[in-house]
């Protein structure tokens, strides 16, 4: 038989259910660990804060297959829902607890809504305390079926249990195994985040934080950043389920020793519940999020309590991961009704670190009720463009497919036109590999152009290229005597549309590959031949003949071009290279310069070196020309000055 090694798969389970329904007792029966760890919890027999336990199960089909499960036990009390919410982010399965003698209660309902908002689709329902009822069991099952109908948890298996008789505990384990067998492991998208749910100090060890790691792997010795404080530190050690480990991956309860950090009641100063440990390459926190909100239709089902208003401008509490932060909500609606969805914006006084695609819960300011769930559409939203059409289209496109990477790429490019590839969708729940594949797909379809680090939407690319071509043609038409459009004017021609400097390079290169040409600092159509416009013809001829009459001894620049018309004509000859500017005052025809260079080179070859006066005689010109001319030749590397002589370089 082939040797099989056990492959642990990591999952996170959280309990859910009304106060006193037996959640913690069930966790203890499953794992042997009492999740109620605080003395006050033990004294009062109630869970106040999150508790944790570890359960290892083997697959029914393949005993070498190990489920390594972190269990988060949540409090059920109505005043402690805020603590419950901080324990159920990124869980794989909800262990939904309903006491047989009590049935469906308010926090059973509220917890169901919360885990549904957070996108949890797997659950196992445990009916507890069956030893206390004799005939009510089937009624409990029927009630649960009825309450779960139409929800993502409608097909959740129901197991009848009692911790007094031990009934159903093994069946519950079997059921968990069966459901988890089909659950996909949480993805490693290369973006590790650890929302801190506990932070404490151990003597001799220093600060330790715990949380449910998601999205990637953290290693011992790795440099991490803690938001929103922005403090950097190195992970000294990592523990998972009580053992030291080298690294920890997604869906793992993880404890990090971060000795350099201080625990602080102020998130901006240090670390505590609500902080997030991540890597520095994932960007920085934001003060503004664009979001899609979802209000459960079930809110309206409870006739005893009116549905809380969710108006544009409401101040609410935002719960995401372990964070619980006040925010102002702006909406594209008067009041978001139960059973509807709507796009809104959340504005924070202190920044939050979150990725687009992450789900969250909104609760009222006084922490009494759960108002809505939501998903982040843009983690770096802009307050100024809140009501503009481009943003609306962008958010609509994302709302329609919040987990589709292509839709995110498309919406980003439709809004921004051109983006830097390396920064594209960093603050989203997509891996760099998926983002890059999507960009390549769109490039193959001809929908985007990739130019270096730039990705440009094809419509934007075409529009920018056309406006560049128009600018060049306008220049050719207005100034046929010039070489073309200067590159700085070319840049200015598209700056109002796209300020990214790289795009000018990319577009210039594309133009030069097809029909255009760079000449020095100018760009022109290849077919463009600079020509003197008719009104400059006569002036041009006068300048040319003045240069040619006595080519080695032409008149000074002022005499050559005494009026604006002649100056324009001279500028044309200089730009096209027909004439060369030797100094401010001296201009030669390029033909004369070529002849002079030949004479100078021959003289220096023959005699090794020559003084200014010797060279002047050899050329046959005056001192007025010779001095600046030889300086010009020095500057251009044709001659070299040695004392009062010139030599070949
Ligand atoms: N008879 C009986 N009592 C149970 C059973 N399960 C739990 N209990 C009792 O119910 C009470 C509440 O149990 P817990 O496990 O603390 O309930 P909980 O859901 O964790 O409560 P909170 O965390 O405060 O919401 C305790 O006194 C338990 O002993 C059961 O199967 N049968
Ligand atoms: Mg409890």
Where in the chain are the domains?
A: 7-181, 193-282, 286-395, 404-531, 541-647
Question: Percent of the chain having pLDDT more than 70?
Answer: 98
pLDDT of residue 109: 94
Please answer whether residues 520 and 483 qualify as being in contact, where contact means their C-beta atoms are separated by less than 8 angstroms.
Answer: yes
Which ligand is closest to the CA of 18, given by its number?
A: 1
Structure-block tokens of residue 637: 């590397």
Distance 252 CA to ligand 1 centre (A): 27
Rounded Cα distance between 256 and 210, Å, is 6
Select the more confidently predicted residue: 355 or 418: 355
Distance 75 CA to ligand 2 centre (A): 5
Distance 15 CA to ligand 1 centre (A): 13
Distance 19 CA to ligand 2 centre (A): 7
Structure-block tokens of residue 381: 């939203």
At residue 537, the 3 state secondary structure works out as helix
Select the more confidently predicted residue: 137 or 49: 49
User: Which residues, in sequence order, are bridge partners of residue 160?
Assistant: 127
pLDDT of residue 396: 92
Most confident of 212-216, 258-262, 311-315, 457-461: 212-216
Please answer whether residues 212 and 90 qualify as being in contact, where contact means their C-beta atoms are separated by less than 8 angstroms.
Answer: yes
Distance 105 CA to ligand 2 centre (A): 15
pLDDT band at 60 (very low <50, low <70, confident <90, very high): low
CATH architecture of 286-395: Beta Barrel (2.40)
Decide if pLDDT at 302 tops 60: yes
Rounded Cα distance between 184 and 178, Å, is 13
Distance 13 CA to ligand 2 centre (A): 14
Distance 647 CA to ligand 2 centre (A): 96
3 state SS for 83-135: HHHCCCCCCCEEEEEEECCCCCCHHHHHHHHHHHHCCCCCEEEEEECHHHCCC
Distance 343 CA to ligand 2 centre (A): 36
- ∠ Cα 210 350 348 (to 5°): 110
What's the pLDDT tens digit per position in 506-519? 888 889 998 999 88
Rounded Cα distance between 526 and 377, Å, is 47
The DSSP code sequence of 321-364 is TTEEEEEEEEESSSB--TT-EEEEEEEEEEEE---BT-EEEEEE
Ligand 1 pocket test, candidate residues 15, 17, 21, 22, most atoms within 8 A of CB: 22
Which ligand is closest to the CA of 45, given by its number?
A: 1
pLDDT band at 73 (very low <50, low <70, confident <90, very high): very high
Structure-block tokens of residue 22: 């037996």
pLDDT of residue 499: 63
Which ligand is closest to the CA of 16, given by its number?
A: 1
pLDDT band at 58 (very low <50, low <70, confident <90, very high): confident
Which ligand is closest to the CA of 76, given by its number?
A: 1
Structure-block tokens of residue 225: 């950043």
What's the pLDDT tens digit per position in 605-648? 999 999 999 999 999 999 999 999 999 999 999 999 998 899 99
Please answer whether residues 16 and 94 qualify as being in contact, where contact means their C-beta atoms are separated by less than 8 angstroms.
Answer: yes
Rounded Cα distance between 410 and 447, Å, is 9
The DSSP code sequence of 284-299 is --EEEEEEEEE--GGG
Q: Which residues surround ligand 2, an ion (CB under 5 A)?
A: 23-24, 47
Candidates 32, 278, 8; CA nearest to 169 is 32
Ligand 1 pocket test, candidate residues 25, 47, 83, 96, most atoms within 8 A of CB: 25
What's the pLDDT tens digit per position in 576-613? 888 999 999 999 999 999 999 999 999 999 999 999 99
Asked if domains 193-282 and 286-395 share a fold, the reply is yes
Structure-block tokens of residue 509: 């290169």
Which atom, in ligand 1's list, is nearest to the CA of 128?
Answer: 31
Which atom, in ligand 1's list, is nearest to the CA of 76?
Answer: 25
Rounded Cα distance between 71 and 377, Å, is 30
Distance 14 CA to ligand 2 centre (A): 11
Task: Among 75-79, 258-262, 303-307, name the one with the lowest average pLDDT.
Answer: 303-307
Which atom, in ligand 1's list, is nearest to the CA of 77?
Answer: 25
Please answer whether residues 367 and 299 qualify as being in contact, where contact means their C-beta atoms are separated by less than 8 angstroms.
Answer: no
Decide if pLDDT at 137 tops 70: yes
Please answer whether residues 604 and 585 qualify as being in contact, where contact means their C-beta atoms are separated by less than 8 angstroms.
Answer: no
pLDDT of residue 5: 60
Could you tell me the CA-to-CA distances from 488 to 128, 195, 483, 494, 525 in Å, in that order?
Answer: 76, 49, 14, 11, 17
- Strand ranges (E), 511-593: 516-519, 522-525, 579-581, 587-589
Which atom, in ligand 1's list, is nearest to the CA of 75?
Answer: 23
Ligand 1 first shell, C-beta below 6 A? 19-25, 45-47, 75-77, 128-129, 131-132, 162-164
Rounded Cα distance between 37 and 40, Å, is 9
At residue 613, the 3 state secondary structure works out as helix
Neighbours of 190 (CB within 10 A): 15
Rounded Cα distance between 605 and 615, Å, is 12
DSSP 177: H
Select the more confidently predicted residue: 453 or 20: 20
- Model confidence pTM above 0.95: no
pLDDT band at 3 (very low <50, low <70, confident <90, very high): very low
At residue 262, the 3 state secondary structure works out as coil
Distance 21 CA to ligand 1 centre (A): 5
Select the more confidently predicted residue: 574 or 279: 279
pLDDT of residue 4: 53
pLDDT band at 86 (very low <50, low <70, confident <90, very high): very high
Mean pLDDT of the chain: 91
Question: Percent of the chain having pLDDT more than 90?
Answer: 66
Which ligand is closest to the CA of 19, given by its number?
A: 1
Ligand 1, atom 7, lies closest to the CA of 22
Which class does domain 7-181 fall in?
alpha beta
Neighbours of 469 (CB within 10 A): 16
User: What are phi and psi for residue 543, nearest 5 degrees?
Assistant: -65, -45
pLDDT of residue 44: 87
Angle at which helices 564-576 and 534-549 pack, to 10 degrees? 70
Rounded Cα distance between 453 and 436, Å, is 12
Give the homologous superfamily in CATH for domain 193-282.
Translation factors (2.40.30.10)
Ligand 1 pocket test, candidate residues 20, 31, 87, 134, most atoms within 8 A of CB: 20
Which atom, in ligand 1's list, is nearest to the CA of 21?
Answer: 19
Decide if pLDDT at 210 tops 90: yes
Select the more confidently predicted residue: 389 or 117: 117
What's the pLDDT tens digit per position in 90-111? 899 999 999 999 999 999 999 9
Please answer whether residues 271 and 263 qualify as being in contact, where contact means their C-beta atoms are separated by less than 8 angstroms.
Answer: yes
Average pLDDT for 166-189: 93
Rounded Cα distance between 280 and 257, Å, is 18
Distance 239 CA to ligand 2 centre (A): 25
What's the pLDDT tens digit per position in 472-498? 999 998 888 788 898 888 888 877 776
Structure-block tokens of residue 596: 């002079």
Decide if pLDDT at 270 tops 60: yes
Distance 34 CA to ligand 1 centre (A): 12
Q: Which helix (H) or strand (E) holds 206?
A: strand 206-213
Decide if pLDDT at 421 tops 80: yes
pLDDT band at 220 (very low <50, low <70, confident <90, very high): very high
Ligand 1, atom 29, lies closest to the CA of 25
pLDDT band at 2 (very low <50, low <70, confident <90, very high): very low
Distance 296 CA to ligand 2 centre (A): 26
The DSSP code sequence of 436-475 is HHHHHHHHHTTSEEEETTEEEEHHHHHHHHHHHHHHHHHH
Rounded Cα distance between 275 and 396, Å, is 31
Please answer whether residues 644 and 627 qualify as being in contact, where contact means their C-beta atoms are separated by less than 8 angstroms.
Answer: no
Rounded Cα distance between 152 and 11, Å, is 19
Decide if pLDDT at 378 tops 90: yes
Ligand 1, atom 8, lies closest to the CA of 22
β 645-647/243-245 pair status: unpaired
Ligand 1 pocket test, candidate residues 15, 16, 19, 24, most atoms within 8 A of CB: 24
Rounded Cα distance between 324 and 309, Å, is 20
Which ligand is closest to the CA of 22, given by its number?
A: 1
Average pLDDT for 449-456: 88
Rounded Cα distance between 104 and 97, Å, is 10
pLDDT of residue 1: 39
Structure-block tokens of residue 576: 């096209």
Which ligand is closest to the CA of 129, given by its number?
A: 1
Ligand 1, atom 5, lies closest to the CA of 129
Give the right CATH number for 541-647 from 1.10.10.10, 2.40.50.100, 3.90.190.20, 3.40.350.10.
1.10.10.10
């Amino acid at each position: 038989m082939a040797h099989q090694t056990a492959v642990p798969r990591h999952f996170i389970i959280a309990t859910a259910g009304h106060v006193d329904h037996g959640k913690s007792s069930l966790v203890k029966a499953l794992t042997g660990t009492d999740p109620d760890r605080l003395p006050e919890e033990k004294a009062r027999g109630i869970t106040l804060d999150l508790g944790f336990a570890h359960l290892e199960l083997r697959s029914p089909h393949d005993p070498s297959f190990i489920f390594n499960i972190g269990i988060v036990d949540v409090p059920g009390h109505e005043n402690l829902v805020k603590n419950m919410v901080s324990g159920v982010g990124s869980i794989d399965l909800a262990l939904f607890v309903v006491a047989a003698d009590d049935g469906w209660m308010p926090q059973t309902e509220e917890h169901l809504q919360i885990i549904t908002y957070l996108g949890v689709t797997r659950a196992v329902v445990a009916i507890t305390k069956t030893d206390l009822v004799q005939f009510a069991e089937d009624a409990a099952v029927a009630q649960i079926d009825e309450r779960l109908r139409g929800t993502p948890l409608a097909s959740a298996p129901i197991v009848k249990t009692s911790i007094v008789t031990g009934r159903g505990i093994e069946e519950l384990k079997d059921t968990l195994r069966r459901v988890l067998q089909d659950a996909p492991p949480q993805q490693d998208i290369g973006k590790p985040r650890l929302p801190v749910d506990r932070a404490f100090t151990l003597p001799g060890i220093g600060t330790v934080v715990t949380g449910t790691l998601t999205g990637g792997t953290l290693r011992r010795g790795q440099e991490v950043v803690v938001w929103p404080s922005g403090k950097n530190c190195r992970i000294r050690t990592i523990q998972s389920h009580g053992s030291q480990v080298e690294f920890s991956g997604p869906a793992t309860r993880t404890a990090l020793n971060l000795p350099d950090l201080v625990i602080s009641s102020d998130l901006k100063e240090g670390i505590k519940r609500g902080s997030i440990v991540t890597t520095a390459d994932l960007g920085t926190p934001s003060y503004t999020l664009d979001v899609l909100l979802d209000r459960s239709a079930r809110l309206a089902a409870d006739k005893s309590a009116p549905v809380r208003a969710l108006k544009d401008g409401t101040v609410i509490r935002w719960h995401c991961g372990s964070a619980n932060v006040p925010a102002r909500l702006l909406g594209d609606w008067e009041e978001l009704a139960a059973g509807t969805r709507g796009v809104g914006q959340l504005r924070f006084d202190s920044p939050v670190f979150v990725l687009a695609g992450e789900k969250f819960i909104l609760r009222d300011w006084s922490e009494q009720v759960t108002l809505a769930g939501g998903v982040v559409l843009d983690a770096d939203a802009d307050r100024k463009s809140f009501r503009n059409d481009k943003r609306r289209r962008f958010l609509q496109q994302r709302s329609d497919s919040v987990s589709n990477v292509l839709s995110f790429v498309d919406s980003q490019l439709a809004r921004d036109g051109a983006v830097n590839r390396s920064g594209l969708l960093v603050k989203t729940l997509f891996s760099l590999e998926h983002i890059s594949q999507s960009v390549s797909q769109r490039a193959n379809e001809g929908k985007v152009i990739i130019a270096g680090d730039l990705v440009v939407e094809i419509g934007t690319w075409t529009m920018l290229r056309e406006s560049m071509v128009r600018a060049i043609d306008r220049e050719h038409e207005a100034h046929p005597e010039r070489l073309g459009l200067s590159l700085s004017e070319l840049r200015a021609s598209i700056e109002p549309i796209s300020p990214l400097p790289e795009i000018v390079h990319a577009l210039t290169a594309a133009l030069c590959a097809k029909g255009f040409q760079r000449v020095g600092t100018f760009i022109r159509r290849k077919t463009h031949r600079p020509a003197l416009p008719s009104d400059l013809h006569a002036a041009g001829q006068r300048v040319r003949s003045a240069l040619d009459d006595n080519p080695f001894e032409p008149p000074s620049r002022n005499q050559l071009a005494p009026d604006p018309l002649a100056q324009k004509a001279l500028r044309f000859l200089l730009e096209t290279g027909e004439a060369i500017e030797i100094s401010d005052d001296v201009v030669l025809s390029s033909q004369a310069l070529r002849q002079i260079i030949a004479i100078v080179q021959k003289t220096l070859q023959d005699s090794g070196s020559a003084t200014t006066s010797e060279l002047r005689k050899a050329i046959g010109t005056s001192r007025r020309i010779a001095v600046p001319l030889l300086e010009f030749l020095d500057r251009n590397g044709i001659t070299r000055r040695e004392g009062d002589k010139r030599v070949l370089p």
